Amino acid sequence: MGLTDEQRGEIAAERGESRSTRRVTVPALEEILYEALPVLDHGFVRVVDYMGDDGAVVQAARVSYGRGTRRVSEDRGLINYLMRHRHTTPFEMCEIKYHVKLPIFVARQWIRHRTANVNEYSARYSILDNEFYIPAPEHLAAQASTNRQGRGAVLEGEAARHVLGLLRDDAERAYADYSEMLNVDEAGAPRDPSWPGLARELARMNLSLNFYTQWYWKTNLHNLMHFLSLRADAHAQYEIRAYAEAMLGTLERWVPMTHAAFLEYRMNAATISAAGLRVIRRLLAGEAVDRQSSGLSPREWRELMAVIGRDA
């Protein structure tokens, strides 16, 4: 994992401190607070701060001034109700902040979610580390023939070796040229004292999208679940899905009742269109329904049949 000695020292110092507070804390999340959870070859996700818990969701929904005296089963039932009926405001009362190290091309996908506060490492101010993402062989795949933004068969043999070589050679060459333009050696010292090197804001444009960047990403619980519903989905690109799955684990530690409701009513559930619902009702009534008589497009028909476990 891509942690420097300085970062390890900072994390150890953070995890070594303990503070007394009147605020609600979550022991399971406190166990991994500040810890870097590895993702991909050099990346990580770590929780650096949070506010609220399952009780805060319930409290906001009931608009009570205390923690409440309801039983856990009643709290779970209320959270399930809120999730099932998409009452999102109570979930917005909880917030979480992550420190994430990720490839630039993943960051460009991630930033499409515009419901968070983001502050990214500045390559105008600092020099990027010589760390870039190379896919594991099982994730190196050809372009899918049926999905313009997806992967097909895994590359094997000479084709895989050739592509991996190109990726590594291009990244290494790009960083070497980046360092030369900055006029710094591997230790960051000037190569030629007679000139200051190219401006960092210009030299960075030479780097490829598989180089790593870092940012702090703060969001509320509702928007975090929206992010996870899309990016932890099996159809999401593998690289961003790897980060989402790590964050899904932190969600379970932080708000276990909300996490269970999220899996039940969002991640493992399905949304059926009005036309699809009519097809299901006709099937339940014993009527023979085919795609042509369903009123659905071929793709909608395939998706519906997959949801109800029938052959398309």
Catalytic residues: 231
- Residue-wise burial string across 137-159, b where 16 or more C-beta atoms lie within 10 A, e elsewhere: eeebeeeeeeeeeeeeeebeeee
CA distance 220 to 92: 5
What letter does residue 266 receive in the DSSP assignment? I
Virtual CA dihedral for 14, 17, 18, 20, nearest 10 degrees?
-90
CA distance 136 to 39: 12
Cβ-Cβ contacts under 8 Å for 292 (sequence gap 6 or more): none
The answer to whether the CB of 141 falls within 8 A of the CB of 152 is yes
Tell me the two tokens of residue 272. Answer: 């059926």
Nearest 5°: the CA angle 130, 157, 161 is 20
Tell me the two tokens of residue 48. Answer: 């650096």
CA distance 40 to 1: 8
